[in-house]
Structure 1
């Protein structure tokens, strides 16, 4: 029985009562442990320097500073957070530029037909700073987040429209966003060593211009129950948002964020953890901790962006580490899915699946050069579990 099932059974067995933390602690399983990959071992590096399991292939989609093939658009530097948005019979891949406004900060997109062929590319956001990660919305916009002090969330419109800032979502060092259509909220991570985990509750779902910013309140343990509290001043000035609510739980360097099936996962780079927030019963726990993998060594270090497959597997990209994308399965095992060789001065960013689940896009932010001008965006195709 995996930890999700165990938690549900524990809640049902308690007759809906809220248990004290000492009782809840018995309901949590250990974080994910090493196991063989369901796809088998990695093969030798291909012509692109990528090691993937048998049956999978990689291709280069775009390179920073070069024209996207089949278009006239020059791909941006330092590609970071990304997402896939359905478009007609094809899709769009959006990607942030983690650079300053004067160096092309913002976001771009590449459009594909149903066969995965590039049909266009363009800029969707300009003049912003250090757009690191973000998240897509159910209404097919892309939330591009500025990773700077008093940074903003920008809602962009890959299917047509002008990008607009959403200050009601808070001014802080934003990282990633994940939409929850059940509770009609957006979860937000904060890239500070004493960062917090937030949710934004729009006044009207589908309209992010107004609403309430809240922060997760919990104890100091790695598992337990939590509540949400309203942040009094989302502008973050003169008091930063993370210090406005007493008891708000501290997370060390919030990074990627992903929602599915009444659960939101997010990563913290300062302690190489993946957190699992169980929204149906207001509990949280560790899905992965590199210091708790036994026997080691831990496969996943430098945790960063995260996405999920339709099967329920989490794919976590490394910022550093061995330049790998690792996968955490629903039965709480972890293994390496792919490795990029010869790019140790880079990081893997922007993993995102196509609607059919058979293509995974991602970037190496600094490529083989170790410079933001050397970014490479890839696609891996193969028999992903769906």
Structure 2
């Protein structure tokens, strides 16, 4: 997935050290994504699940909060949030956080090669407000606590190995995580109005027992070169975001996704999708609803984000009009689906099955607007590769 913006940023990377702060004027960077026709066409009428989908796509309900998952004896958690998929022999597993405080944690659903549910179980318990997280290359799930001085827990999607609290990743209001196997770091977002963007450099790649937590340092604009500085005290006795002079502020860090030398992350306070070019060490805007021209911004309330093998980003809305929108490699933003009748909810946990043919996500509060009304869905269809 070589997005046009990555190639552009790589081309200017060699001049960053010479130009320094002058790049923050933004002249070297293209405009953020603009509305257009998506690759799947217009949304249809609401289906039986109240979901508007493009032609050729179907949906089903996988689980409902407070109810047993079909074919199992396991009761699905309240307020389903961030999630990810894992290959499991000929089938796969979908994990989902619970944004409840206290007693949040994480659950998992197992599927057969045909997509039938074969099991459901708990993989993390007795934690607080587990919002988003991230998948590691060694097939664990990093579940993040979205509370003051929250922790990151490393969990086993198969539920065999007990979850472990990873103190070295810092204590702050964690939101999401994304692994970069090339630079061997974990990127982390912070859900504060004056939050920061972090990366964790493990002492040994594949182990999160120890390492160095760093914060992104940059100019005050929306594009340009960046550096990283170590956070002196990751325990957060003094807020991690306030320990390094010049740390760049982001207004409400949310979802985070890495692919091919780029980490995309969202900020809900200003409805932006950012992209960090890890090869060139630059950032720029992939989307900003205030910079949309010629019509209404299709994507608002940006939140969780994932990507497909085609290079499309799928961004879930917290509020807005309850859509998952996609941003194509050609910088076109368009709705992919919309949930009707659930305006008091938010869309969470988008993740693709290993073969890329099924998209999982949740409506955190469903039709009731309560954390006990969460619904987890699957959409199947001709996703492009």
Please tell me the TM-score bracket, short chain as reference. Answer: over 0.9
> Does 2:367 match 1:368?
yes
Give the deviation of 1:23 after TM superposition. Answer: 4.8
3-state DSSP of counterpart to 1:275 = strand
Partner of 2:307: 308
Within a 5 Å distance, the mapping from 1:1-386 to structure 2 comes to: 2-11=4-13, 14=15, 18-23=18-23, 25-101=26-102, 104-159=103-158, 160-237=160-237, 239-386=238-385
Structure 2: distance between partners of 1:71 and 1:382: 26
Q: Which runs of 5+ in 2 are unaligned?
A: none
Structure 2: distance between partners of 1:331 and 1:365: 31
Q: Could you tell me whether the CA contact under 8 Å between 1:83 and 1:136 is conserved in 2?
A: yes
Structure 2 vs 1, CA of residues 357 and 284 (structure 1 numbering), >3 Å: closer, same or farther? Answer: same
3-state DSSP of counterpart to 1:135 = strand
TM-score normalized with structure 2 length: 0.97
Task: Show CA shifts across 1:331-379 (max 9, x none).
Answer: 1110000000000000000000011111000000000000000000000
Q: Could you tell me whether the CA contact under 8 Å between 2:21 and 2:219 is conserved in 1?
A: no
Give the deviation of 1:26 after TM superposition. Answer: 2.5
Residue-pair matches, total: 381
Q: Could you tell me whether the CA contact under 8 Å between 2:13 and 2:281 is conserved in 1?
A: no
Structure 1: distance between partners of 2:122 and 2:90: 21
Give the deviation of 1:86 after TM superposition. Answer: 1.1
Give the deviation of 1:7 after TM superposition. Answer: 2.3
Give the deviation of 1:21 after TM superposition. Answer: 3.6
Give the deviation of 1:100 after TM superposition. Answer: 1.6
Give the deviation of 1:208 after TM superposition. Answer: 0.4
Q: Could you tell me whether the CA contact under 8 Å between 1:365 and 1:374 is conserved in 2?
A: yes
TM-score normalized with structure 1 length: 0.97
Give the deviation of 1:17 after TM superposition. Answer: 5.8
Task: Show CA shifts across 1:127-178 (max 9, x none).
Answer: 0010000001011100000000010000001122000100100000000000
Structure 2: distance between partners of 1:4 and 1:211: 28
Task: Show CA shifts across 1:220-251 (max 9, x none).
Answer: 100011001000000000x1100000000000
Give the deviation of 1:88 after TM superposition. Answer: 1.1
Give the superposed CA RMSD.
Answer: 1.2
Structure 1: distance between partners of 2:100 and 2:325: 26
Structure 2: distance between partners of 1:23 and 1:381: 43
Q: Could you tell me whether the CA contact under 8 Å between 2:193 and 2:252 is conserved in 1?
A: yes
Structure 2: distance between partners of 1:286 and 1:252: 14
Structure 2: distance between partners of 1:10 and 1:124: 44
Structure 2: distance between partners of 1:307 and 1:333: 16
Task: Show CA shifts across 1:92-143 (max 9, x none).
Answer: 0000000022xx4100000001111101000000000100000010111000
Give the deviation of 1:27 after TM superposition. Answer: 1.9
Q: Which runs of 5+ in 1 are unaligned?
A: none
Structure 2: distance between partners of 1:138 and 1:23: 33
Q: Could you tell me whether the CA contact under 8 Å between 1:2 and 1:29 is conserved in 2?
A: no
Q: Could you tell me whether the CA contact under 8 Å between 1:317 and 1:326 is conserved in 2?
A: yes
Structure 2: distance between partners of 1:169 and 1:242: 13
Structure 2: distance between partners of 1:17 and 1:126: 47
